[in-house]
Structure 1
Amino acid sequence: MVLSLFERTIARRYLLPGKSEAFIALVAGISVGVVMLSVAMLVIVMSVMNGFRAELLDKIVGLNGHAIVQGYGERIDNWESVLQDVRKTPGVVKASPLIEKGLAVNYNGRYLGVLVRGNTQDAIDSLGPNLVAGNLSQLKAGGKNVALGARLAESLGVRVGDTITLINFEGRTTPFGTMPRQVGYKVAAVFEVGIYDYDQKFVVMPMQDAQQLLLMGDSVGMIEIKTTDADKVEEILEPIRRQLEGRAVINTWKTINSTLFEALQVERVAMFFALSFMVLVAAFNILSSLVMLVRAKTRDIAIMRTMGATRRSLLKIFVTTGFTVGALGTVAGLVLGFLVLAFRQQIVKVIEVVTGQNLWDPSIRFLSTLPARVDPLEIAGIVALALVLSFLATLYPAFKASSTDPVQVLRYE
């Protein structure tokens, strides 16, 4: 919409009302503020929700892969041939054997339930960026060294160099019954992947040591798979799923963590829908401020009409005035939203200090830090929503102004 010099001058004048229209200026300022806050809240909330999903997916996939091939009875005997078939599947980037079993751990009389993971050397080395203490290079087959999650080490009171006892209750059968198998392991490293449940439960060791502890012989529990695209993992693995039918089952990250990710998706949609009403409220504020402006400027509008101003010019003037208010609020909201996201961790800490409350308990939030990931398409959608509602809010007062009859207004002047 191109404005003439006359239209731009009048629109600029109405955007900066004089002292006699202080109340109109206040309402317009409130409209800018409400648009700013609503846009900022949408940007912050949607980015944090995206960050939750992305961080959880990255960390879960980093530890468990995109999918697992799991044998019946929690073991795969002919795993080498299965592994070769999986690796030949188009779209599979990596496949490696894995053992995972729930056991108990004892340290100085303190017992806890843990998940023992027997990993290949490559998988163990991949924990390097998450290393908190110790040395992962000590985790070699036959060395009886393990790595613990940071929260588990804290709960047990264990430090690098201490010896823990892992207890397998499915031990060897004797004439007196099944005797639990208890084996001591030295803590060689402590890691923190950032997901509380994993850091609280996992004990990582070489796969050969896990096979010996669990009396599995040469069998493994599952095969971990990574693909080229996590979102298309079912399509990629469909051929191998049919091939392994009756021998093993394939579970993807979507099915393993379906409850968690579905809850996040529902909450994300619900939050967007609820916060969108704030933008609608801001649009009503723009509408009310323009209605008051039209009522205050009725005489001026009538005079402009008698001087040759067209209905189209008046329509463009008031649409531009209202839309500019919405645009200013939208830009300010984007700036505020990005600033809050940039300093989100510091803001959380300040609020915790002021209130004395722990706002980010990792045992509840799954992640140890507040995540955020900006989606450009979502930001564009938020901006479009704010601008469209702002534009629609200007139509009624603009049409009202353009339909002003100068004869009726100036009759008694």
Structure 2
Amino acid sequence: MSKDASYYIKNGDTRRALAVRRVKTRTKVALSGTPAENGTEDLFWLIGWLTGFSSRYDDPVSDMSGKPRPFQGFGKAGYDHFRDYYGGGKKRAVLDIDSVQARVSNHEKLWEVLDSIMYRKKKLDADVQAHISVPKPEHHRYHVEMFSAEQEMYEKTVKAFSDWYELELMKKEAAEARGDVYRINTIEICSWMRKLQQAASCPWIFPDYDASKGVKTAKMQFLESKAVDLLRRNKKMLIFSGHKETIEYLTLALDNVVFGKRAEFIHGGVKKEDRWKLIERFQDPNDPLSILILSHRTGAESYTLTEAKAVFLFDLDFNGKRIEQCYSRAVRLGQRDVVDIWWLMNVGTIDVNMHGLCLSKISGVNLAIDREALDFEEIAEEFEGDALAVAKSMDMEQFAREMLKSGTTRSQIA
């Protein structure tokens, strides 16, 4: 099975996965550079398919007697057990993320399972580096202090979320008093999470955003200054965002920010053939297309954009490995220079929560598959920002931990 196809069966309920499982064959091989993207639970259906959905692996959850019970099959129950046992237990709420904790558990046992079916080669392996030499990128985790207009807009959104949630709790309490069951709609909560992301990323889309206090946001001003510096030195750049509104706005704002240097975008609404034309233009060092702005989902595809010398993550995705795949468009075979990767986060917003979530998920997958968790002390040295206007001798690890706690907390909502 090809790299892309093997990843697509991570969800066993999709038509693609069901079609693959109907194929009868004596030998099964799956090729993938990213066998798990969002967490160790992504391995569940892949392991099942490779082993023929046999009972070869016991259900990791034991019964009350402490004895392993028979595997309950590769259905929802088996998936839930696999996630709870190997994936770090129950999922933590995004607004509870205030530190970096590898999202994995019982990984030594998982290694035994993977050793029996997986042959893994990494970029840092000596024999791989002998053929693939790509300079290590430099990460800048930049924390931005918002301007007053965007700060007010974000606080309004938090307050609206809080009011809605308080009303839902009242409905739940009333239902319980009647002996009924009332569940707060998870989809609605996810919708509010997206609103918080938009308030932090593109507050101008909200009707009550006070543009009279300044149209540009702090992130936008920082990005524009970096773009001017890079383009004047004839260096091309990539920008990633999860919001269509942000992607299209940034394209308009940055097109010709330096005369003659053009900006274009690629998201799900752009036709495949047009995407490839834009990529060809971007990869041509003589073409004026110098800024390419992509969505997380589209940008994580297997494009080669090695003309980029800087990557800006304007906002983040819930999927940490997808973020890695985004900046890997520039950090790949063919890249001859050190690429600067800028993680832009507004202090006091869900941006910070998303950053902690991404780091935790990336660390969990790395530990589960490559047996190497992220080095937080090393990551702490990458933290930068407006809040860091102090002496260089400060404790960077302490600063990093404080920044990870500077997001939106559950107490602000509930």
Name the TM-score, length of structure 1 as normaliser. Answer: 0.19
Which of the two has greater helix per residue? 1
Does 1 or 2 have the higher relative contact order (CA < 8 Å, sep 6+)?
A: 1
The structure with the greater share of residues assigned to strand is 1
Name which one, 1 or 2, has greater alpha-carbon Rg: 1
TM-score by length of 2: 0.19
